[in-house]
Amino acid sequence: MIFRIMAGLAAFALPFSAMAQEKVLKAVMHADVRVIDPIWTTQTIANIHGALVYDTLFGNDADQKPQPQMVGKYEISPDRLTYTFTLRDGLKFHDGSPVTSKDAIASIKRWGAKDGVGQRLMGFVTALDAVDDKTFKMVLREPYGMVLESLGKTGSSIAAIMREKDAQTDPQQQVKESIGSGPYIFAKDQWVPGSKAVYLKNKDYVPRTEAPSSFAGAKIPGVDRIELIWISDPQTAMSALVNGEIDFYENPNTDFLPLLAKAKGVKLMKTGVIDSTQGMIRLNHLHPPFNNVKARQAMYYLVNQEDFLRAIVGDPKYYRVCPGLLTCGGPYENDGGTAFFKEYNPKKALQLLKEAGYNGEPITILATTDHNTITPATQVLIQAMREAGINVDVQSMDWGSVVSRRAKKEPPAQGGWNIFITTSGGVGTANPVLHTWIGAACDKGLFGWPCDPEIEKLRNAFGMASSEDERKKIAKELQTKAMEQVVYIPFGQWDTPLAYRADRIDGIVPNTGLAVLWGITKK
């Protein structure tokens, strides 16, 4: 009897399984897609989403050289003050409407109002006007060396081109729809926040013809459907990959790398040429005690990078001690200001803090509970601070709440904070202009709000420098100043290779920091 029912059910289920013939990429990212506006937030996951759905005018290639992406041809005036862009043919939004200059201009303006790199660029821009439907002009106040690099940026937030009406949304508000012109279409009706986001192949997408390299070159949608599945537990995600339940796992925990390396069908892949992640301890410059530079510098005595890296990564093969702010192994690595780092000495730290006026007040640290690198790093810092005898007020919360709370400028007692820890992508941190966390633009800067005009000046100078030697010199100066001001304390850098089922998928485009999924094909 029971068997008969089961047989009946099986027959009923058959047509469904036949439907499942379409090629589906099941990928687990480091986070869950909750916000669908890549401009509104710097969250990496929102930008992975954005990179699938939206296209960009330029795309930096693996060597961080900008290449035209949506732009067909462009001209730079000899005085390097006027840029004329012409969109290539065949660009259409997912709702069928063509991409026009107006869309591009509105999008750049919104991005330029919100994103750190964009703000810097827009600081130079005096006019941004449409010439015709496909052509528009950008006029600068003075020459700026990073125009195309900024537009082709491969880290958060990308300069995504939206429909004009979406781009006119207040940058402080999220766009409600996620309609772009990129290689994949966001299936909003199938989106289950907290569980999965679904993308369907954009059949009308016209890719470029060049070979893909990071954000540059052809973006060929390789599968019919991409499912970004959210598995919060890294072990579960790893097991799911080993078991073949998913195809792609963006950030396996380094502890699992030996297991993954052994697993049949699974391959590991380095995401880019330099280490993908740098750890950062961010202090709040607005409130005591860290409004005093002496107090900030005292914290250097509490950071032994090796301790942090061991706790996060474990295997020394995958991490690197790097006392500088600009990525070690990157083009602008230097030793400027690294002398601020001292031997681990909690007593000394407390003494210096006291000298800076600290008197045992609680120091509020935002401790995320659900992040596989930030959580352990925070624990290590708390331990060190406690050892020093600092009164630590630990606020445990999930990462999303940290992201919300770190934006609060109020004093810690009124919902603000003193310390939080975050990480940033290696490409971004390698370049002083793209590296927004190194900035010190006061209120306009990133959370923590370091404030030092000198630093900002140096960053501008870097952007306008004409030679590589000059850039390197400015970079060193900048790092020294930033280390002195303690814009943040780095605690090392590491790389997490991505893991995927080599027996099932192919065509992964490596890109440090922001996973690129469009090229992946399924066997």
Partner 1 sequence: MTAYIVRRLFATLPVMAVVALFVFFLLRLAPGDPAAIIAGEDATSEAIAAVRAKLGLDRPLVEQFVVWLWALLQGDMGVSIFSNLPVTRLMAQRVEPTIALTLSTLFVAVSLAIPIGVVAAWKARKLVDRLVMGFAVLGFAMPVFVLAYVLIYFFAVQWQLLPVQGYQPLSAGLWPFAESLILPSVALGVTYMALIARITRASMLEVLQQDYIRTANAKGLATDRVLLLHALKNASVPIVTVIGIGIALLISGVVITETVFNIPGLGRLTVDAVLKRDYPIVQGLILVFAAAKVIVNLIIDISYAFLDPRIRY
Partner 2 sequence: MAVITDDLAPSPGRRFSLATAIRRNPTIAFGGVLLALLIVMAVFAPLFATHDPFKLSPVNRLRPPSERWWFGSDQFGRDVFSRTIYGARVSLIVGLSVAIISSVLGLALGLACGYFKRIDSIVMRIMDGLMAIPSILLAIALITLARPGLGIVIVAIIVPEVPRVVRVVRAVVLSIRGQPYIESAIAGGTKNLKLLLRHVLPNTLAPLIVQSTYVCASGMLIEASLSFLGAGVPLEVPSWGNIISQGKTFFQIAPWTILIPGAFLAVTVLAVNLLGDGLRDRLDPRLARRL
Site size for partner 2 (CB under 8 A): 30
Q: Kindly tell me which of 245 and 454 has the beta carbon lying closer to partner 1.
A: 245
DSSP code per residue over 127-177: EEEESSSSEEEEEESS--TTHHHHHT--SSSP-EE--HHHHTS-TTS--S-
Is the preceding omega at residue 289 within 30 degrees of 0, hence cis?
yes
CB of 404 to partner 2, least distance (A): 15
The item of partner 1, partner 2, none sharing an interface with residue 467, based on CB under 5 to 8 Å by kind, is none
149 neighbors 60 (Cβ within 8 angstroms)? yes
Q: Of 95-103, 153-161, 206-214, 300-308, which segment contacts partner 2 by CB under 8 A?
A: 300-308
Q: Which stretch binds partner 1 (CB under 8 A): 133-141, 233-241, 312-320, 371-379?
A: 233-241
Taking the complex as a whole, the smallest distance from the CB of residue 464 to partner 1 amounts, in Å, to 33
In the complex, what is the shortest distance from the CB of residue 235 to partner 2, in angstroms, rounded to a whole number? 5
Specify the DSSP element, H or E, that contains 226: strand 225-229
- Give the three-class secondary structure for 56: strand
Q: Specify the residue, 77 or 404, whose C-beta has the smaller distance to partner 1.
A: 404
**Per DSSP, what are the bridge partners of residue 416?**
none
310 binds partner 2 (CB under 8 A): yes
Q: Which range, of 29-37, 162-170, 281-289, 377-385, touches partner 2 by CB under 8 A?
A: 377-385
- Exactly one of 72, 244, 314, 329 binds partner 2 (CB under 8 A); that residue is 314
Chain residues 310-369 in contact with partner 1, contact rule CB under 8 A: 369
Nearest to residue 393, comparing CAs of 374, 370, 377, 412? 412
Mapped onto helix, strand or coil, the DSSP state of residue 411 is coil
- Min dist. Cβ of residue 96 to partner 2 (A): 44
DSSP H or E stretch at residue 119 = helix 116-124
Check: CB of residue 461 under 8 Å from CB of residue 441. no
Q: How many residues bind partner 1 (CB under 8 A)?
A: 40
Q: Which of 113, 139, 206, 394 binds partner 2 (CB under 8 A)?
A: 394
Residues 6+ apart with CB under 8 A from 495: 270, 271, 275, 276, 277, 318, 319, 426
Asked if residue 282 lies in contact with residue 448, where contact means CB atoms within 8 angstroms, the answer is yes
Question: 522, 24 in Cβ contact below 8 A?
Answer: yes
Binding to partner 1 (CB under 8 A): which residues in 391-450?
Answer: 397-398, 400-401, 404-405, 407-408, 415
d(C-alpha 9, C-alpha 55), whole Å: 44
Query: What is the closest distance, in whole angstroms, from the C-beta atom of residue 397 to partner 1 in the complex?
Result: 8
Selected binder of partner 2 within 292, 379, 401, 460 (CB under 8 A)? 379
Q: Does the protein bind partner 2 through residue 346 (CB under 8 A)?
A: no
433 neighbors 460 (Cβ within 8 angstroms): no
Q: Does 261 bind partner 1 (CB under 8 A)?
A: no
- The item of partner 1, partner 2, none sharing an interface with residue 234, based on CB under 5 to 8 Å by kind, is partner 2
- Which residues on neighbouring strands pair with residue 363, listed in sequence order? 392
Stretch that binds partner 1, among 93-101, 149-157, 242-250, 341-349 (CB under 8 A): 242-250
Which residues lie closer than 8 Å to 4 by C-beta, 6 or more apart? none
372 is a contact residue toward partner 2 (CB under 8 A): yes
Chain centre distance of CA 221: 22
- Judged by DSSP in three states, 361 sits in coil
- Dist CA 340 CA 332 (whole Å): 19
2-21 residues in contact with partner 1 (CB under 8 A) are 6, 9-10, 12-14, 16-17, 20
Binding mask 186-225 for partner 1 (x = CB under 8 A): ------xxxxx-----------------------------
Q: Which is nearer to partner 2, 82 or 379 (CB)?
A: 379
Interface pick for partner 1 out of 75, 129, 233, 315 (rule CB under 8 A): 233
Neighbours of 210 (CB within 10 A): 13
Which string of x and - marks every residue 155-184 that binds partner 1 (by CB under 8 A)? -----------------x-x-x--------
Is-contact 468 235, C-beta < 8 A? no
Closest distance between partner 1 and the C-beta of residue 492, in Å? 28
Nearer to partner 2, 170 or 233 (CB): 233
For residue 199, give the 3-state DSSP assignment. strand
Residue 404 contact, options partner 1, partner 2, none, Cβ 5-8 Å cut-off depending on partner type = partner 1
CA trace torsion 378, 475, 451, 288 (10° rounding) = 40
Measured at the CA of 429, the angle between CA 310 and CA 158, to 5 degrees, comes to 120
Max distance between CA atoms of the chain, in angstroms, equals 85
Site for partner 2 in 219-258 (CB under 8 A): 233-235, 238-239, 253, 255-256
199: partner contacted, choices partner 2, partner 1, none (Cβ within 5-8 A by kind): none
Residues that bind partner 1 (CB under 8 A): 6, 9-10, 12-14, 16-17, 20, 34, 172, 174, 176, 192-196, 229, 231-233, 236-237, 239-240, 242-243, 245, 369-370, 397-398, 400-401, 404-405, 407-408, 415
Query: Which residues of this chain interact with partner 2, rule CB under 8 A?
Result: 233-235, 238-239, 253, 255-256, 259, 306-311, 314, 367, 369-370, 372, 376, 379-380, 382-383, 386, 394-396, 398
